[in-house]
Amino acid sequence: DDTLAALRAVASGSDELRERALSKLVGEHAPQSFVRWKVTRWRETSSPEAVAAWLEVFGRHGLPRPERAVGCPLLAITGALDA
């Protein structure tokens, strides 16, 4: 999937690439100083391998077995602008 490939590139990319991607995501909702701070913290706290693994878990469409019931309470919060 092209979207997942693009997200993997950001995960393993430079701070500049991460900053551009995060800026697109937040748009006008956050100042550039916040975006730079967030990218710095992202690099300090998460290895590219960990980010890529997170994408594998949360960056997919659907569920592996949608017919299977979830065995624990689940709270899903979405917003009007969620894709």
pLDDT tens digits for 43-72? 899 888 888 788 777 776 666 676 788 888
pLDDT score at 63: 61
What percent of the chain stands above pLDDT 70?
89
Q: What is the mean pLDDT of the chain?
A: 83
- pTM of the complete model beyond 0.85: no
The DSSP symbol for 69 reads P
Q: Is 23 left (phi over 0), alpha (psi -120 to 50) or beta?
A: alpha
Q: What tokens were used for 17?
A: 């690439």
Residues 6+ apart with CB under 8 A from 40: 15
Residue showing tokens 């979830």 = 70
pLDDT score at 83: 60
Residue showing tokens 């300090």 = 44
Q: What tokens were used for 47?
A: 């290895």
